[in-house]
Structure 1
């Protein structure tokens, strides 16, 4: 069978071959790749030369203990489905990414992060155990204690070590899912960096929206939103169907410089000048864009690229300015520009993206070669700063950039299931492997 298994960026769109999990033990040309809900932006969820193994059909929650906060579910269960099950019992995810439309398996495979990395680290830290099916037909129970090396390679391993069938995660008890938010706007990037140490020390969550188009003395202006689960937040509404929808892709990019300039002025202008605190719905704080089905279609028929980097704290102010100015120099407009801190809590995953420092996320409509040249220029700034790129937001980083971002990739390659492959791994790690083999032969 075949279906339109798209990544969220929609740059490459074509029917992709799918297979049943029972076929996994026979390795086809091009290999297999597990597929969750397609919320990775690039080609970590593509395997155009092989076949995909969809994990959503039939996925269910099998156990939840409201005394311990432990939940066991199939890998294809969405985080929104988990929240719907546990919120009535006073629990919430310890780490939630910017969308709840991610599968449990995908959250593990990408070791996703949230707005509280400075407190709790990545999603992988809340994973107690999982069952991993290999192409040899063996099911392995993995945890930080059992099959620990395979556990560490699978967390953040982009689905390449085996098929995650079921996982048990730890949830946190909260007084309310709703959030007591403290928000204020800052006139330039210095306002963010001058405030963030105190903000992160005082709050569970923090995230900043940046006006990427502002220049001069206003460069990097934005809105900082800190939060904690509200003691008096009242009953929280469970996840619900989106209120709005973009049912088709418009013929042109609607998120262009003209529309974004107007949006940024309105958003910044409505933000409080002084610190303002109040209770907001959990869904609007954590997953605002989940309220719009298919919002990625607004970028038009050519799709979008997302560039997310992390770079050290010592030069973060200068690096952030350099990245924003680079995008401006290339005439690009980013709709969703987000700045957050990554804390010192270590990720369990061998290939996890988060590491101590700051992370800037930029979204750009695909304008072809012009956009690719700009993204390459952004990469050079990140490399020079000693930073890294996020693989599950990427669909074009060079093998050189990949190696600079993930120096332990060969350990991951040694743990990869031989029947599993993705377009991302083929494009990056496999492009480096022949050179490494030649080097070894020359030294033999």
Structure 2
């Protein structure tokens, strides 16, 4: 037994930690150790775990088993002519990218950190700054092998076990243990992004820039100031992969040395940071060349950055609201957050395209997505979230399960649809459970 908590540091609970050292032993493990212990009290249910970078309780299984996949970290094949790569599920995206880029390829979609595993990227169907062109990670998973607690290992793709394939992509780890995956790649000249920063003063300007940028720019995203001024100004960032072939690897890390005794994120620090950040971005050169690691993963060079929020931890609140209701919803959320005096250093606002969802419980849909980190201030934060939930609910939006730690079951069911959820439940593995699944799905 050992204590484990997710990246948000909200709760650290006792778990049985076990390590999957090879894919061949898993079926026997499932059958002998789990199948006969799938009790109603969930005491011996298992949850596959990659690098544990989810923010909420999607990656915790209190008093149950965490089956870590970090030793499933081998490359199986690389076929440049087919633009595909096959690897085990515990491989980190950082390692894949650093192998692929010198060889003229990248993963088409990665999230805001590359310190996650391939299995985690599939299970949470992560997205990037290029959803309008490339969709989600799941859109580029050609196939995977999935171990189930009945001892079977199934090949899953759009043509084979296709419903289980769709249930597993975005299925938050509940359909079994992903062992290997075959991924589609995109060609690139090198590690550089031709980028541009555009300051804007309000959400109307943001929407105009976003709409004008989507046709000509692969990567579009915005930092938004949620605390100072009128609570709407920000910096719009857009870019395309550069034709520059000069290779460079970044390895400059700083580390937050220990857990802060209290959160360093407060009303004063938020006001000063957001004011200085906005000013710094407006005076710098608007067009520049950025290394992909700096452009895509700005926080990865700050190791253990979650410690700045102190021992009570923090929440990330990420929603998506449909385009037809989203503009007014984001405006109202900005007003409510600004009034609350709570907020985030790194408020992220961007648009999703009209790509069909890759998985049954995939988060993105066409509209606006907004993500912010909030220090855990107890009841004060809960009251703020209740108000934000009401706005999201009214706009027919939903919250991202990979970031969630507390949303009401009613919001989950409306946001994802009870018909879709009931269809997904058919494909869950009865030996698998998590704190999130017990909270929102009842198992």
TM-score (norm 1): 0.93
Deviates more, 1:116-125 or 1:312-321: 312-321
Which of residues 208, 211, 214 is equivalent to 2:228? Answer: 214
Q: Does 1:347 find its partner at 2:347? A: no
- Whether the 8 Å CA contact 1:184–1:274 is kept in 2: the answer is no
Look up the match of 1:436.
none
Q: Does 1:292 find its partner at 2:302? A: yes
Which of residues 259, 262, 266 is equivalent to 1:252? Answer: 262
Q: Does 1:167 find its partner at 2:148? A: no
**Partners of 1:275 and 1:319 in 2: CA distance:** 32
**Shift of residue 239 of structure 1?**
5.6
- Whether the 8 Å CA contact 2:169–2:359 is kept in 1: the answer is yes
Summarize the alignment of residues 45-56 of structure 1 with structure 2, pairs less than 5 Å apart.
Answer: 45-56=59-70
Contiguous gaps of at least 5 residues in structure 1: 432-444
Which of residues 430, 433, 438 is equivalent to 1:418? Answer: 430
Look up the match of 2:392.
382
Instruction: Give per-residue Cα distances to partners, 1:26-66, cap 9 Å, x unaligned.
Output: 33342110000011100000110311100012421121122
Look up the match of 1:82.
96
- Whether the 8 Å CA contact 2:256–2:305 is kept in 1: the answer is yes
**Partners of 2:181 and 2:376 in 1: CA distance:** 36
- Whether the 8 Å CA contact 2:231–2:338 is kept in 1: the answer is no
**Partners of 2:312 and 2:212 in 1: CA distance:** 41
**Partners of 1:66 and 1:13 in 2: CA distance:** 43
DSSP-derived class of the 1:42 partner: coil
Deviates more, 1:340-349 or 1:99-108: 340-349
Look up the match of 2:151.
137
**Shift of residue 85 of structure 1?**
1.1
Look up the match of 1:429.
441
**Shift of residue 275 of structure 1?**
8.4
Q: Give me the CA root mean square deviation.
A: 1.5
Look up the match of 2:411.
401
DSSP-derived class of the 2:133 partner: helix
- Whether the 8 Å CA contact 1:87–1:238 is kept in 2: the answer is no
**Partners of 1:19 and 1:89 in 2: CA distance:** 35
Summarize the alignment of residues 119-158 of structure 1 with structure 2, pairs less than 5 Å apart.
Answer: 119-158=133-172
- Whether the 8 Å CA contact 2:75–2:87 is kept in 1: the answer is yes
- Whether the 8 Å CA contact 2:13–2:63 is kept in 1: the answer is no
**Partners of 1:58 and 1:73 in 2: CA distance:** 9
Aligned length: 426
Which of residues 245, 248, 263 is equivalent to 1:237? Answer: 248
**Partners of 2:338 and 2:270 in 1: CA distance:** 13
Instruction: Give per-residue Cα distances to partners, 1:107-131, cap 9 Å, x unaligned.
Output: 0000000000011100000001000
**Shift of residue 274 of structure 1?**
9.7
- Whether the 8 Å CA contact 1:342–1:357 is kept in 2: the answer is yes
Look up the match of 1:202.
216
Contiguous gaps of at least 5 residues in structure 2: 21-25
**Shift of residue 297 of structure 1?**
0.8
